[in-house]
């Protein structure tokens, strides 16, 4: 049994989509980051960086923060969504790290400077807007001639898709990135993705490109 501590954000959804995909039983504990639940002393024992998501695995006693590590942990635990042969395994980890180091943090800044505070700094809006477009271009090139980021659907797709699902906030028209659009739509219709996006509460339909 897994205890999942989460909120309805891209990083949180990586964990809930993964739990739905691998079919593990889990209990959801909402951590309302708008009300500072992430700073509660009890939560810090599980997630010392004050962020969601986090998990506790009662089978092993392991508590874990950081969505990328959680995806790798659950993949190893279940033998799913992380290839076992060396080349595909390392490519999956490579693209997961690309998401964790670039496609997540930069798009997160785009949310601040394109959606929530578009007038506070022209420099920041330009910087994160352009970097977001560049990263979508990198993803589009990677997906040329491929169904998924590596060979089969994997934790790299889950991690990246969860951020692409906020394309509207990032002022991205997926029609400008046709390979990303095809990949995005195919993942958006997976039952586990639809279920994982309703954790901890249902925000309504997954955004779809025009
Ligand atoms: N690198 C971390 C980032 C986690 C993160 O930034 N979580 C956000 C929600 S998406 C959060 O908890 N924000 C609350 C805050 O910043 O106080 C991960 O991938 O798990």
Question: What's the chain look like in SS3?
Answer: CEEEEECCCHHHHHHHHHHHHHCCCEEEEECCHHHCHHHCHHHHCCCCCCCCCEEEECCCCEEEECHHHHHHHHHHHHCCCCCCCHHHHHHHHHHHHHHHHHHCHHHHHHHHHHHHCCCCCHHHHHHHHHHHHHHHHHHHHHCCCCCCCCCCCCHHHHHHHHHHCCCCCCCCCHHHCHHHHHHHHHHHCCHHHHHHCCCCCCCCCCCCCC
Is residue 99 lining ligand 1, measured as CB closer than 6 Å? no
Is residue 37 lining ligand 1, measured as CB closer than 6 Å? no
Out of 8, 11, 165, 199, give the residue to mutate to test ligand 1, the one with the largest number of ligand atoms within 8 Å of its CB.
11
- What's the pLDDT score for residue 20? 98
- Domains by residue range for the chain, with CATH: 2-78 (3.40.30.10), 86-190 (1.20.1050.10)
Give residue 11 CA to ligand 1 midpoint distance, Å.
7
State the distance between the two ends of the chain, measured CA to CA, in whole angstroms: 39
The residues of the chain scoring below 50 in pLDDT are none
Is residue 52 lining ligand 1, measured as CB closer than 6 Å? yes
Is residue 9 lining ligand 1, measured as CB closer than 6 Å? yes
In the block, residue with structure tokens 């033998």: 79
Q: For ligand 1, atom 15, which residue shows the shortest CA distance?
A: 51
- What's the pLDDT score for residue 99? 98
Out of 52, 54, 99, 156, give the residue to mutate to test ligand 1, the one with the largest number of ligand atoms within 8 Å of its CB.
52
- Global pTM reads 0.98
99: its two tokens: 């998401």
- 76/82 Cα distance (integer angstroms): 7
- What's the pLDDT score for residue 39? 97
- Cβ atoms of 174 and 133 within 8 Å: the answer is no
What's the full length of the chain, in residues?
210
In the block, residue with structure tokens 């010392």: 48
- What's the pLDDT score for residue 91? 98
* pLDDT tens column, 87-133: 999 999 999 999 999 999 999 999 999 999 999 999 999 999 999 99
Rounded to the nearest integer, the mean pLDDT of the chain is 98
């Amino acid at each position: 049994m897994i205890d999942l501590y989460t909120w309805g954000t891209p990083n949180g959804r990586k964990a809930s989509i993964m739990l739905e995909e691998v079919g593990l039983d889990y209990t959801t504990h909402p951590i309302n980051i708008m009300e500072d639940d992430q700073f509660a002393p009890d939560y810090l024992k599980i997630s010392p960086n004050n962020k969601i998501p986090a998990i506790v695995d009662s089978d092993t006693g392991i508590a874990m923060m950081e969505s990328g590590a959680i995806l790798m942990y659950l993949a190893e635990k279940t033998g799913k969504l992380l290839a076992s042969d060396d080349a595909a395994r390392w490519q999956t980890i490579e693209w997961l790290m690309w998401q964790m180091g670039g496609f997540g943090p930069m798009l997160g800044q785009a949310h601040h400077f394109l959606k929530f505070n578009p007038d506070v700094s022209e420099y920041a809006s330009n910087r994160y807007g352009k970097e977001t477009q560049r990263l979508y271009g990198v993803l589009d090139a990677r997906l040329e001639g491929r169904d998924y980021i590596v060979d089969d659907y994997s934790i790299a797709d889950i991690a990246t898709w969860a951020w692409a699902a906020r394309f509207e906030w990032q002022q991205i028209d997926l029609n400008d990135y046709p390979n990303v659009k095809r990949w995005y739509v195919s993942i958006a219709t997976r039952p586990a993705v639809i279920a994982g996006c309703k954790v901890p509460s249902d925000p309504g339909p997954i955004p779809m490109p025009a």
